[in-house]
Chains A and B, each alone.
Chain A
Amino acid sequence: MNESVSLDFKDELAEEEEFLGNFFYISLLFHLAIVLLFYLYNASFFKFKEKEQSLMKSFVRVDVVAMPTLTIKELKSLKLDRSFKKGKAKSLKKIDQSAEIQKAKIQKRAPKIVPRKVEKLKDDFVFKEKTKAKTKKLNKKIEERKIDKRKKVENIEKASVEEKSNVLDLIKNLGTKRVKTVKRGKRRQKVNNGLGIKFGRKNSKIIKNLLIEGNKISKGENIIEGKTLLKEEESLQIINDYISRVRQSVRSYWKLPEYLKENKNYRCRIQIFISDDGSLLSLNVIEKSGNEEFDKRALQTVEMAAPFPPVDPVIRKRVLNGDLILGFPL
C-alpha cells in the first residue's frame, strides 16, 4: 500500500516535470518564433545599428566693438599664423623644464641647509630638566644622543619646509620672471610678415589689442544640428577643435572648376580614418555625388590635405574608427 502511494507520488512528480518541460519548450519556441518574426520583418534587426550621424557646421562669432584696425589681408594672415601657438608651447615647456631643474638643485642642496638653533635650545633645556637621572653620565650620553637624533629630525623637517617654500617661491616667481628664450626669442621677434605683426610674444599683444580695440574674433562653437555644445563637455570640445582643424586644412585644397561648381546638387561624403600621428590611414566614399569627376576631386582634396594634425588620446578611438565623415560641400 505504502509502495503504491509512493509510486503514485513519483508518477505525479514525473508528470508535473514533464508538463513543466513541455511548457518551457512551448515558451521557448514561442519566444524564438517572435525573434524569428522580428528577423524576417526587419533583416537589420541583428545587424549593427547604423551609427548616429551628426552634422558639424562651423561658425565664427565676430563682435565688433570698435572700428577694425586690421585689414582683411591681415586678418587672414593672423588666422594662418600657427607659430604663435608653437612658440607658446615651447616657452611653456621651457618653464616646466627650468622648474624641474631648480627643484632638483634644491633637493641636492637641502641637507646642507643649517637650521636655526634658538627655539631648539629652549626645548633642549626643558627636556634636560625633566630628565634628571641618577646615572648622570650615562643618561647624559643617552640624552645627548637622543637630542642629536631629535635635532637631526627637526633639521631635516625644517630643511624640507624651507625646500617646499623655496619651490613655491620659485613657481610663483616663474609667473613674473621673464623666461629667457635667448637667441630663438630674438629671432622670432625679428620675423615679420610685412604687416607689422610679429610672431611669438608680440602676437599675443596684438591679439590682446584686437580684443580691446575691435575685430573681436572669438573662436565660435561648432554647432551640432542646431545645438551648441556645452563647454564643460571636454571630450566634445577636443573633438570640436580637432574637427575645425581638419576642416580648415581640407578646405584650403577644396577647389572646383566652374562647370562642377555651378551644380549645387552634387554632394559627396568621405569617411576618413586617421592614425595617432594624424596620417591618413584610409578613406572611403560613403555617398557618391553622381559625378565621377566631382568624387575624384573630393578624394584628391582629402589626400592632398593629409597628414592632419596629431590626434588627442581622448578622441583617438573615434578618429581611428572612422567617426569623421567629410561632407563635400555638406
Chain B
Amino acid sequence: MKKILGFCLLLLLFPLGVSWASNGQMIIEIGEATLDKKKIIFQKPYLAEKFNVFETKLIKEFHSIFANDFSFYKKSFFIIDPENEPVSDFDDKNFELWTSRQFKFITRYLFKKNIKKGAIDFKVELVDTYNKSVLISKKGHFYSRNLREKAHALTDLIFEKIENAPSIFRSKIIFVSDMMSKGSKKVKELFSVDFDGRNLKRLTYHKGIVISPSVSSDGKKVLYTLIRSGKGRKNLNLYSMNLKTRRQSIISSRKGINSGAIFTSDGSKIILTLSHTGNAEIYEVDLSSQQLRKITHHFGVDVDPDLSKDGKILTFLSNRSGKAMIYLADPSGKEKSVKRIGFVGQFNATPRFSPEGSEIVFSSWMDNSFDIFKIKKDGSQIYRLTKNFGSNEEPSFSPDGEFIAFSSLKLKKRSRKLSVQNIYIMDRDGGIKGQITRDIGYCTTPRWYNPPKT
C-alpha cells in the first residue's frame, strides 16, 4: 500500500524535478560580419602589335592607374602585382589558376594602334572567374592628354559593377594655394586636382585672396569669397564660378563678411555668413530672386555653415556659449531648433557633414595645434582622427564618405621655408592614405567633389 502511494507521489513530482534541473542557455550576439576582401587581378596588358617606346610608356601609365585607384580601397580589395602573372591570350577562358587562388575578378587589357586617329585603341574587360562571365567590356581609344581621365572613368565603372556603390575615381579636390604670391604680396588662387594628386589646374586669376571655396552638389559651380588686393576698403565678397566655362559672377557684396557660402542640395539657394547688420549671422539667399532670409538669430557670432545632403540639417560654428562650438539647426530658420552638439575642446572649427549625414567632421585646437575629430550628429561618439601629424584643419569628406581630405601644416627645421602646408587624404578612421599636393605653396581649404559625367 505504502509502496503504491510512494510510487504515485514520485510519478506526480517527476516533471517538476526536470524543470528545476534546467538551466538557461545564452545566445551570444556575434554581430554583423566584416567584409571579406575581394580578390582582384589587373592582368598584364596584352599587346596585339609592337609599340614604340612612347606608346609603351602611355600604355603602362594607363594600365597602372587601375591598380593605383583600387589601392585606395585596400579595406575592401586584395590586389596582387600583375607583373609576375602570365598572360598568354586576351580571350583566355581557363580561369582555374585564379579560382584556385580565390580571385573572383580579373580585368584584362588589349591594346592596338589606331593609326587613323594617332591614338591607342583599348579593350578592357572585367571577368567573373567563378561564373566565367564577362561583366564589363569596353572599347575606346586614348591620347596622352586624356589618358588618365579615360582610365579613371573605367576604374569607376569596374568599381561600381563590383561594389554596387560609387567610387572616388572620378572625383576632384579644389583648394586654395598661395603659389602665385610674389615677395610680400600675398596672392591666393583657386586650384583643382584629381583625387590622386595629378592633373593640377588653376581655376582663378584674381590676383587677390580667395578663401572658403565650396562646390555645388552637381559639381558644376563653385562659390568662393574674394578679398581684393590693392588700396581702399577690403571687403569679403562672394563669387560664383562655372567650372566648365570658368565664367565668374559676384553673388553678394554686402558690407562686411560675405563668406562661408554653400549651395543647397538643389543649387537654387545658398547659405552663407553675412555681417552687414553688425553681427555675423547665417542667412539664406535665393539665387534667382536675391531674397535674403535670416536663419540664426543670436548675438553670438555664427559662421561656417554646412548642410546635410538631404538639406534638412544645418551645422555651424558659434561662440554663443563663450567658446567656438558646433551647433545644429533647422535650415528653415527657427532659432528654437538650434541645438548644441559640441561641448568640449578649446576652439572648434569647420564642421562638415559626411555625405550620408550621420557624422560631422571638424578641427579642434589641441596640444598647440589643430587636429581633426569626428562626432555623430546627435553629439555622441567623438573620435580623434589625426595626431602628431602637424596642424590639421579644414576637413572635407569624399563624395562616397569613405575618405577625408584636409590641410596639414608642418614645421620644417632645416629648410629655407619654415613651414609647409599641403593637402592630404585619410580614410574615415584616420588612416593616412597620401599627400595630394607637393611644392605648390601653402595649400588650404580642400573641398572634395564629383564633376558631372561627360
Tell me the A residues contacting B by CB distance below 8 Å: 24, 28, 31, 35, 45-46, 48-58, 62, 64-75, 214, 224, 239, 243, 246-247, 250-251, 254-258, 260-261, 269, 271, 297, 301, 318, 321-330
Question: B94 CB to closest chain A CB, in angstroms?
Answer: 23
List, sorted by A's number, 11 A–B pairs whose CB atoms are closer than 8 Å.
A51-B22, A54-B27, A64-B381, A67-B373, A67-B384, A72-B385, A224-B26, A250-B28, A255-B34, A325-B26, A329-B31
Could you say which residues of chain A place their CB within 8 Å of the CB of B386?
71
**Cα–Cα distance between A69 and B386 once the two chains are bound (Å):** 10
Q: B11 within 8 Å of A by Cβ?
A: yes
In the complex, the answer to whether B36 meets A51 with C-beta atoms within 8 Å is no
Could you say which residues of chain A place their CB within 8 Å of the CB of B15?
45-46
Interface residue from B12, B28, B385 paired with A71 (Cβ < 8 Å): B385
Could you say which residues of chain A place their CB within 8 Å of the CB of B8?
28, 31
Could you say which residues of chain A place their CB within 8 Å of the CB of B382?
64, 67-68, 214
Inter-chain pairs besides A48-B18, A49-B22, 16 sampled, C-beta below 8 Å: A49-B19, A58-B31, A64-B380, A67-B344, A68-B383, A71-B383, A71-B430, A72-B384, A73-B430, A243-B28, A257-B36, A257-B38, A323-B23, A324-B25, A330-B27, A330-B29
In the complex, the answer to whether B33 meets A255 with C-beta atoms within 8 Å is yes
Q: Which of B24, B27, B163 has the most C-beta atoms of chain A within 10 angstroms of its own C-beta?
A: B27
Q: B292 within 8 Å of A by Cβ?
A: no
Could you say which residues of chain A place their CB within 8 Å of the CB of B25?
51-54, 271, 322-325
Query: In the complex, which residue of chain A has the Cβ closest to the Cβ of B385?
Result: A71
Question: B127 CB to closest chain A CB, in angstroms?
Answer: 17
Q: B387 within 8 Å of A by Cβ?
A: yes
In the complex, the answer to whether A67 meets B364 with C-beta atoms within 8 Å is yes
Could you say which residues of chain A place their CB within 8 Å of the CB of B1?
24
**Cα–Cα distance between A155 and B380 once the two chains are bound (Å):** 68
**Cα–Cα distance between A243 and B24 once the two chains are bound (Å):** 14
Could you say which residues of chain B place their CB within 8 Å of the CB of A57?
29
**Cα–Cα distance between A259 and B198 once the two chains are bound (Å):** 34
**Cα–Cα distance between A260 and B38 once the two chains are bound (Å):** 13
In the complex, the answer to whether B345 meets A67 with C-beta atoms within 8 Å is yes
Question: B385 CB to closest chain A CB, in angstroms?
Answer: 6
Q: B366 within 8 Å of A by Cβ?
A: yes
Q: Which 3 A-B pairs have the closest CB atoms?
A: A256-B33, A52-B24, A255-B36
Could you say which residues of chain A place their CB within 8 Å of the CB of B19?
49
In the complex, the answer to whether B383 meets A72 with C-beta atoms within 8 Å is yes
Query: In the complex, which residue of chain A has the Cβ closest to the Cβ of B102?
Result: A257
Query: In the complex, which residue of chain B has the Cβ closest to the Cβ of A256?
Result: B33
Tell me the B residues contacting A by CB distance below 8 Å: 1, 4, 8, 11-12, 14-15, 18-19, 21-36, 38, 163, 344-345, 364, 366, 373, 380-387, 429-431
Interface residue from A56, A297, A301, A329 paired with B32 (Cβ < 8 Å): A329
Could you say which residues of chain A place their CB within 8 Å of the CB of B430?
71-73
Could you say which residues of chain A place their CB within 8 Å of the CB of B12?
31, 35
**Cα–Cα distance between A73 and B387 once the two chains are bound (Å):** 10
Question: A330 CB to closest chain B CB, in angstroms?
Answer: 5
In the complex, the answer to whether B384 meets A70 with C-beta atoms within 8 Å is yes
Question: B395 CB to closest chain A CB, in angstroms?
Answer: 14
**Cα–Cα distance between A301 and B31 once the two chains are bound (Å):** 13
In the complex, the answer to whether B29 meets A327 with C-beta atoms within 8 Å is yes
Could you say which residues of chain B place their CB within 8 Å of the CB of A297?
33
In the complex, the answer to whether A239 meets B384 with C-beta atoms within 8 Å is no
Question: A72 CB to closest chain B CB, in angstroms?
Answer: 5
Interface residue from A45, A55, A260 paired with B29 (Cβ < 8 Å): A55
**Cα–Cα distance between A28 and B33 once the two chains are bound (Å):** 58
Interface residue from B29, B33, B163, B387 paired with A56 (Cβ < 8 Å): B29
Interface residue from A67, A72, A323 paired with B24 (Cβ < 8 Å): A323
User: Do A254 and B22 contact each other (CB < 8 Å), given the known contacts A71-B385, A261-B35?
Assistant: no
Query: In the complex, which residue of chain B has the Cβ closest to the Cβ of A55?
Result: B27
In the complex, the answer to whether B344 meets A324 with C-beta atoms within 8 Å is no
Could you say which residues of chain A place their CB within 8 Å of the CB of B11?
31, 35
In the complex, the answer to whether A69 meets B384 with C-beta atoms within 8 Å is yes
In the complex, the answer to whether A256 meets B366 with C-beta atoms within 8 Å is no
**Cα–Cα distance between A228 and B347 once the two chains are bound (Å):** 38
Interface residue from A55, A66, A258, A325 paired with B35 (Cβ < 8 Å): A258
**Cα–Cα distance between A329 and B34 once the two chains are bound (Å):** 11
Could you say which residues of chain B place their CB within 8 Å of the CB of A71?
383-387, 430
Interface residue from B21, B26, B30, B32 paired with A53 (Cβ < 8 Å): B26
**Cα–Cα distance between A75 and B28 once the two chains are bound (Å):** 24
Question: A178 CB to closest chain B CB, in angstroms?
Answer: 31
**Cα–Cα distance between A62 and B12 once the two chains are bound (Å):** 53
Question: A41 CB to closest chain B CB, in angstroms?
Answer: 13
In the complex, the answer to whether B30 meets A250 with C-beta atoms within 8 Å is yes
Query: In the complex, which residue of chain B has the Cβ closest to the Cβ of A252?
Result: B34
Interface residue from B26, B30, B34 paired with A239 (Cβ < 8 Å): B26
Query: In the complex, which residue of chain A has the Cβ closest to the Cβ of B37?
Result: A255
User: Do A64 and B24 contact each other (CB < 8 Å), given the known contacts A57-B29, A73-B430?
Assistant: no
**Cα–Cα distance between A66 and B429 once the two chains are bound (Å):** 20
In the complex, the answer to whether A247 meets B29 with C-beta atoms within 8 Å is yes
In the complex, the answer to whether A256 meets B28 with C-beta atoms within 8 Å is no
Could you say which residues of chain A place their CB within 8 Å of the CB of B26?
53-56, 224, 239, 243, 323-325
Question: A194 CB to closest chain B CB, in angstroms?
Answer: 11
Could you say which residues of chain B place their CB within 8 Å of the CB of A214?
344, 382
**Cα–Cα distance between A329 and B32 once the two chains are bound (Å):** 5
Interface residue from B27, B33, B380 paired with A269 (Cβ < 8 Å): B27
In the complex, the answer to whether A327 meets B384 with C-beta atoms within 8 Å is no
In the complex, the answer to whether B385 meets A328 with C-beta atoms within 8 Å is no
Could you say which residues of chain B place their CB within 8 Å of the CB of A260?
33
Question: A14 CB to closest chain B CB, in angstroms?
Answer: 15
Query: In the complex, which residue of chain B has the Cβ closest to the Cβ of A51?
Result: B25
User: Do A68 and B24 contact each other (CB < 8 Å), given the known contacts A73-B430, A247-B29, A255-B34?
Assistant: no
**Cα–Cα distance between A254 and B32 once the two chains are bound (Å):** 8
In the complex, the answer to whether A49 meets B28 with C-beta atoms within 8 Å is no
Could you say which residues of chain B place their CB within 8 Å of the CB of A73?
429-431
**Cα–Cα distance between A46 and B385 once the two chains are bound (Å):** 60
Could you say which residues of chain A place their CB within 8 Å of the CB of B21?
48
Could you say which residues of chain A place their CB within 8 Å of the CB of B35?
255-258, 261
